A = this chain, B = another copy of it.
Amino acid sequence: MKKLLLILLLILNFSCSEEQNNPSDTVVKNIEDLQNAIDNAQPGDEIILSNGVWKNSQIKFHATGTEKQPITLRAETPGEVTLEGESVLKISGEHLIVKDLYFKNGYTPDEAVIIFRNSPDSIAYNCRVTGTVIEDYTQLDRHRKDHWVEFYGQYNELDHSYIAGKSNEGPTVKVYLNDNRHINNYHKIHDNHFGPRPRKGGPKAETMQLGASMTSMTPSYTQVTNNLFEKCNGEVEIISSKSNFNNFSNNVFLESEGSVVTRHGNYATISGNLFIANDNPYVGGIRVINTGHWITNNYFYGLKGQEFRAALAVMNGIPKSPLNRYNQVTDAVIAHNSWINCEQPIHFSVGVNLDQAEVLPPSEIRSARPERVIFANNFVYNQSATSYPIKAYDKIDGVKFKSNLYTTAYDNNTTDLDYFAFAKADLKPAYDIYYTPTTYEKELYNGFNFNAIETDALGKNRNQDQNYIGAIIPPIQEEPVQLMTDNYGPEWFTAASGNQDIKTHKVSNTNELIAAIENANSEDVIVLSEGNYLIDKTIPLSKELTIRGANDKATIQFDALKTGFLMQPKGILSLENLNILGTPEQDLFNTLDENMSMAYGIHLKNVSVSNFKSVIDASKSSFADEIIVNNSQFNNCKNGFLLDKETDDKGDYNVEFLTVTNSTFENISNEVIDFYRGGYDESTIGGVLNLSGNTFMNCGKTDSDEILVNTRGIVNVTFKDNTFKDNHTKLTAVLWGAKGQQPINNTITNSGEIKVVENIALKLVY
C-alpha cells in the first residue's frame, strides 16, 4: 500500500513537474544569475524566476532546446513574478518556452516588451510564450512608439496570455516579415485574451498587425485562432493583416471598436469568428481589401457600425494601386455567414471617393469596384425594423449573389430581392444570441472549392446531409465554447474589476475636501455641503472621482494658481452641481505637460464656471477619452475648450468624444471651442463632437477674424439646435460636407455664418 502511494506520488510529481522544482531546474534570483543559467541551459532544463519584483530586467533568452526537450523559463509562482520598470524579454534559438510572466508598472526601454529575436541575426524558431500577462505596460508618451509582442522567425507561439492597456502608438502585436527568415512563419497566436486597448485618438493603434505594406507580398501563414478580443478600441483596425495566407478563425470580438481588416496581402481565411457589439455603435466586423480572401462561417450579432466599420465592408480599390494603398477586391468568397440583428451590415464599394478628386491625387481615388466576388449561402435576420441588409456606394456588378436568405420578424413589404430570398419568421435564439433559420429548402450554392468549408462556425461537419445556409447548422447541441470567456488568457490571472465598494465622502470645508480627494478610492464620490471652498493649490487627479455639490450648489474657488485640476493618466473627474470660480491667469483643467501615458476624462453636469483663463487647455500628447458637458454655464473666461495641440498632422487629436449639450457660453472672449485633427488618413475616423442645444452669447471679442467653434479635421460633428447671439467672430463654424456634416436648426443672430465646405485639403499622412 505504501508502495502504491509512492508510485502515485511520483506520478503526481511527474505530472506537476512544471510547477515543482526538479533537480535539473535552476531557481534564479537576479538578472546575472538568470543570464548565467540561460548561458548554460541544456535541452530539458527549466529556469525558474524566483518570486518577487524583477525591476528593469532585460532578459536575453538565447538557447537551443529540442522539440522533445525544450528549455523553459518560468515564474516560480504564476502571478508572483512581476517584471516592472524598464523590462524586456528577448527570445532567440529553438524550442524555448516562457511561462507565467507578468509585465506591469513600467514600459519597455526597447522596441517591444517581448521580442522573438535577440538581434537581426539571432532569431527564434519554435519558441513559445504562454500564460503571460502584459498589463498597462504603456509608454509615458503616447507618441513614443513600441509594440508589446514582436514576432520574428518561424513557428513561434503566443498563447493563453492576457494583454491589455496599451495606450501609445504602435500595434500591440506585430509580426515582421522583412526577411526570408521570417516568412512562411506559421506563428500561432491562440487562446489569448486581448483585453481593453483604449481609444488612442489617432492611427497606429491596432491590436495586431501582421506584416507591413512594403512586405505585403510575403507568404506569412500566421494562425490567429480562438482568441478573445475585448474592447480593443485603439483605432479602426483591430487586426491589420498585411501579408498573405493568414488565418483568423474562431475568435471572439467583443465590443471592439474596429474591424478585422485585410489591409494588404491576399488569401486570408476569416472563418468562424463571432462579433458581438452589445449596442456599441462603433463596433465593426470585417473590412475587405485585396484578393482571394475566404470569409466564411462568421457570426455577427447586433452590429451597428457603418462604412469602414460595417459588419462587412467590401472596399473599392485604386486602379493599379501603389503598394501602400488600396488594391481592388477580387476573387473573394463570402459564404455561410450570418448577420443577426445588425443594422444594414453589408457594405459594398466602401471608400469610393470619386467626389474628392479635387483634393486628392489620382493615385488616391478608389474607383475599382469589387470583381469576381462570390456572395453565397449567407443568412441575415432582423427581429426589429431596420434598413435593407446591403448598402452599396457604387454599382455592384462584380459580385455573384447565390442562395442568400434574408429573414425578418416583421412584414418587410418585400418579396425576394436581387441579392436575397426573403422570408418572414420570428426566430428564437439558442444560448441568447444564436439565431438560425428554421427551415431552408432552397438549394445551397456549390461554388468552386466550397467543399473546403468543411464545418460550420461551431465545428459541425458540413456534409451533404446536413449542410445549411448561414454560419450555423441548427440545432445547437451544447453551449458554444465561444461564449465561455473564462477560457481565454492565463489560467492563473483575472483582470482587475472595478471598485466593488464605492464610498461616498461627505465634506464641509476645504481641508476635508482636499483630504477626501487624496484618500478616496477610485470611483468614490465626494459630496460637498453648501458653502465656499477656497483652494490655493493645484489638485492632481489620477483616479476616477465624482465631486458633487449637495442640494444647492457649493462653490469651489481656486486662488492664485496656474491650474485648478491637473488631469493625469487615468484621471476621470465628474463635477456636478457646483459653482467654480477662478482667476484670469489660471485654467480650470490642464493636463500634464508630459507623460500623459493614458487617457483622462472630464464630466461636467450642472456646473457654472467663471473667470478662468481657459476651461481646459490640454497639452500635446494628452488624450481625453470623453469630455462630456451638460447643463452648464461658462462665463467671463478668455478661452473655452482648447483641444488643439496635435498639430503634427498625422491623424492624432486630443479628445475622442467632446459632447457639449444644453449649456451656455457667455463672454468667452477668445476661442470657445478649438478641436483639431490634421492629416489625411482614412483609418482615423474620429474625433466626435456633439454640440447641441447650447447658447453662445457675446463671445469671440478678441478673436474676430477666427471661427467661434473650430473643428478643423474632426470627422464627426453634430451641430444642432444651438443659439448664437451677438458673437464677434467672422464665422461661427466651418463644417465638412464630405463627412456628412450639416448644421441643423441653429439660430444665428448678429453672429458669423456657419459655412459648409465639401472637401478640406489635408496633408497626406503616409
Contact = CB atoms under 8 A, between A and B. Distances in A.
Tally of this chain's copies: 2
A216 to B, nearest CB: 9
Given A266-B217, A292-B218, A324 B331 contact: no
Contact of A363 (B219, B292, B322): B322
A218 to B, nearest CB: 7
Interface string A514-550: 0000000000000000000000000000000000000
Contact of A267 (B178, B219, B330, B363): B219
Contacts of A323: 320-322, 327
Contacts of A292: 180, 183, 217-218
B218 A180 contact: no
A331 B184 CA distance: 13
A448 interface: yes
A448 B267 contact: no
Contact of A448 (B180, B266, B320, B321): B180
Interface string A242-272: 0010000000000000000000001100000
A680 to B, nearest CB: 16
Interface string A187-226: 0000000000000000000000000011101110000000
A181 B291 contact: no
Contacts of A327: 217, 323
A333 interface: yes
Interface in A544-568: none
A372 interface: yes
Contact of A178 (B180, B181, B372): B372
Nearest to A319: B323
A290 interface: yes
A180 B217 contact: no
A697 to B, nearest CB: 52
Contacts of A244: 217
Nearest to A374: B180
A279 interface: no
Nearest to A331: B180
B321 A179 contact: no
A333 B290 contact: no
A449 interface: yes
B449 A180 contact: yes
A213 B266 CA distance: 15
Q: Dominant SS at the A interface?
A: loop
A458 to B, nearest CB: 26
Contacts of A214: 320
Nearest to A321: B323
B180 A333 contact: yes
Interface string A456-494: 000000000000000000000000000000000000000
A350 B445 CA distance: 50
Interface string A310-331: 0000000000111111010011
A375 to B, nearest CB: 14
A388 B17 CA distance: 63
A199 B290 CA distance: 37
Contacts of A181: 448
A325 B321 CA distance: 10
Given A181-B448, A321-B322, A322-B321, A291 B217 contact: yes
A622 to B, nearest CB: 33
A334 to B, nearest CB: 13
Contacts of A178: 330-331, 372
Contacts of A320: 213-214, 322-325
A725 B181 CA distance: 67
Contacts of A372: 178-180
Contacts of A448: 180-181
Contacts of A213: 320
A352 to B, nearest CB: 19
A614 B363 CA distance: 48
Interface string A296-320: 0000000000000000000000001
A243 B200 CA distance: 39
A179 B449 CA distance: 12
A333 B448 CA distance: 36
A325 B325 CA distance: 14
Nearest to A328: B214
A322 B322 CA distance: 4
Nearest to A266: B217
Given A219-B267, A292-B218, A179 B322 contact: no
Interface in A146-198: 178-181, 183
A692 to B, nearest CB: 43
Contacts of A321: 322-323
A209 to B, nearest CB: 18
Contacts of A183: 292, 331
Contacts of A219: 267
A416 to B, nearest CB: 24
Contacts of A325: 320
A179 B363 contact: no
15 contacts: A178-B330, A178-B331, A179-B331, A179-B372, A180-B331, A180-B333, A183-B292, A183-B331, A215-B330, A218-B266, A218-B291, A320-B323, A322-B322, A322-B363, A363-B363
Given A217-B244, A320-B322, 5 more contacts: A178-B331, A178-B372, A180-B333, A180-B449, A363-B363
Q: Which 3 A-B pairs have the closest CB atoms?
A: A320-B323, A320-B322, A217-B266
